[in-house]
Structure 1
Amino acid sequence: MREQGLRARSYRIYMKMAKLHRFYQSIKNIKKDTPKPTAVNQQWSGDLTYIRQGKRWMYLAVVIDLYSRKVVGWSLGSKKSTQLTMSSLRMGIRNRKPQERLLFHTDRGSEYRAHEVQALLSKNGIVPSMNRPGHCTDNAEVESFFHTLKGDMIRKNSFKSEKQLRDKLVGYIQHFYNRYRLHSSLGYRSPHEYEVMTG
């Protein structure tokens, strides 16, 4: 190329990446400066964790209502992907039908920063909020749920198939955790009981 006087023009790619980086950095931690929710569907939080199934890892994405700690959406898959996080978010939207200006807080993982996820939030009038860089405790409520899930269910069981794991998660999340698992932060009530009592 040098002999022919040609040059590779790579600056356009750099400019696109720079703009993308600025977009990601522009998503602030709105949750940090927002009062605690006083009703359902004011603030949600989402995150991912991994669970061993046989000789492989499966990934669980959840969406939690921060008012009641209720799991309003979840999705299980073999890949840590944007589609997984979108599936859990779609379940929450379908189940709860939130009004506009709902705050959705996550970490800064690419599975939440992706254009498709941000477009889904925008389409439904949901406001994105993300952890400050290096501050994993900004999403403590979901981390607390994962700790509870693993203590109650995951460490006590081995899962021979994806179906077995999925069935166990349905039973734990939708029937036990949401309806019967007591929380000290809710006055020792379950998420379902707390929503009924305060609704």
Structure 2
Amino acid sequence: LPVAPNLLEQKFEADRPNAAWVTDITYIATDEGWLYLAGIKDLYTCEIVGYAMGPRMTQELVGEALFRAVRSKRPRNGLIHHSDRGSQYCAHGYRRLLAQFGMLASMSRKGNCYDNAPMESFWGSLKAELVYHHRYATRMEAMASVREYIEI
């Protein structure tokens, strides 16, 4: 699968909203199995601009998060979209979406979580403030809890 250059190079600054987004996938334990959460964060506003949840870590999951972000923020061409090298982000279909939206793909160096530190930091906060304090019986229960955390 194709890999994009690292356009951010750990310079996690933007001069305006919708100039650079970082994205990643995390997982949350439930009694039914894992719930996967794909999120997209704006580097200028620090807002989660798009997210999606589901039982599988797929290209469709990250695509849904991207569609939600684009629908809510309507970014201009040239936005830097930074991710790790996960297969979902390298997939041809996802890369085509980025091109259709006029986004510049950027990817972390292999195995370097520091290259996506702002998104990793958000996941750490979500888990420390919310997830580790709950035992979720169902994915739906976890989804409702995460939705409230992100949107409020």
TM-score by length of structure 2 reads 0.95
2:148 maps to which of 165, 171, 174: 171
- Residue identity (%): 32
RMSD between aligned alpha carbons? Answer: 1.4
Q: Does 1:147 align with 2:124?
A: yes
Amino acid of the residue matched to residue 118 of structure 2? E
Which ranges of structure 2 fall in alignment gaps of 5 or more residues? none
CA offsets, 1:120-152, max 9 Å, x none?
Answer: 000010100000123221000000000000001
**How many pairs does the alignment contain?**
152
Which structure exhibits the higher relative contact order, with contacts defined as CA atoms closer than 8 Å and separated by 6 or more residues?
2
Residue 69 of structure 1: aligned partner: 46
Q: Write the distance in 1 (CA, Å) between the matches of 2:121 and 2:33.
A: 24
Q: Write the distance in 2 (CA, Å) between the matches of 1:130 and 1:102.
A: 14
Q: Does 1:45 align with 2:46?
A: no
Q: Write the distance in 2 (CA, Å) between the matches of 1:126 and 1:85.
A: 15
Q: Write the distance in 1 (CA, Å) between the matches of 2:99 and 2:69.
A: 15
Which ranges of structure 1 fall in alignment gaps of 5 or more residues? 1-19, 176-199
Greater Cα radius of gyration, structure 1 or 2: 1
Higher helix share: 1
TM-score by length of structure 1 reads 0.73
Query: Cα gap change, 1:101/1:152 in structure 2, threshold over 3 Å: closer, same or farther?
Result: same
How far off is 1:36 after superposition? 2.1
